[in-house]
Amino acid sequence: MIKRLRVAPLALLISGLAISTLALANEPIYNQISLRAEASQEVAHDQMQVILYTEAQDTDPARLATAISTTLNNAVATARKQATVNVKLGNRSSYPVHDSKGQKITAWRERAELRLESTDFSTLSALTGELLSTLKMSNMQFSIATKTRTNSEDALLKDAISAFQARAKLVSDAFGSSSYKVVNLNLSSNGFSRPPVYARAAKMLSSSMADESSIAPDIEAGSSQVSIVADGVIELVLP
């Protein structure tokens, strides 16, 4: 009995607190409006990516792997001489080649990629032309460099907030409110989707490098739209 007398008041207190919290949670909230505003600007692509590859076939898989590695290592050594170019190894795969009946392995085929990236377009273009003597190009694409993207976002933050405030003021005036307060505000970027692959430009560059008498085509990097979205809720103060 003594234990029951000691526990009961605590149980009643917790029960009362739960009811009070539930009542507050279910209490209706008035005069709150969701708003969304956006600030954006067009930003030029200042980063170039090129993917080169070497591919060969041989009846001896070990000899094939050695040949691929030698070609790739030589290309990497050449690329790393350029301090402004970021060099990475890409995908590498090997698979068997079967006879016409698909039963017997007649050879092995292997492919390995080299990925180059730089904000120095002229240096990367010249390097690409040099490496095309032993490698082939699969694609070339352009994007916004990380530092440029961050700077663009920072510059747009104030504009996005100002746009949200202007829209909040407009709504407040329309409802005859004397003022408003921001309940919550979320700021987010548009995600910076990667630009499309410039396969045609890659093919043109490959062809021009193969023919030394031709002039390499001008590279048009293009641009992407950078946006900051201000999404939040305001509460109107009505007279």
- Residue 219 is predicted with a pLDDT of 66
- Residue 191 is predicted with a pLDDT of 54
pLDDT band at 171 (very low <50, low <70, confident <90, very high): very high
Mean pLDDT of 166-188: 93
**Range in 4-13, 16-25, 49-58 with the lowest mean pLDDT:** 4-13
Query: How far, in Å, CA of 208 to CA of 156, rounded?
Result: 40
Cα distances (angstroms) measured from residue 62 to each of 20, 69, 89, 110: 75, 11, 20, 11
233 or 193, higher pLDDT: 233
Domain ranges of the chain: 47-143
120 or 4, higher pLDDT: 120
CATH classification number, 47-143, choose in 2.60.40.10, 1.10.390.10, 3.30.70.360, 3.30.70.980: 3.30.70.360
- Residue 10 is predicted with a pLDDT of 41
Residues in a beta bridge with 226: 41
- Residue 15 is predicted with a pLDDT of 45
- Residue 190 is predicted with a pLDDT of 74
Nearest to 208 by CA among 132, 117, 119, 114: 132
30 or 47, higher pLDDT: 47
Cα distances (angstroms) measured from residue 176 to each of 5, 173, 236, 237: 57, 5, 9, 9
- Residue 207 is predicted with a pLDDT of 52
**Above 50 in pLDDT, residue 196?**
no
Query: How far, in Å, CA of 220 to CA of 124, rounded?
Result: 14
pLDDT in tens, 32-71: 999 999 999 999 999 999 999 999 999 999 999 999 999 9
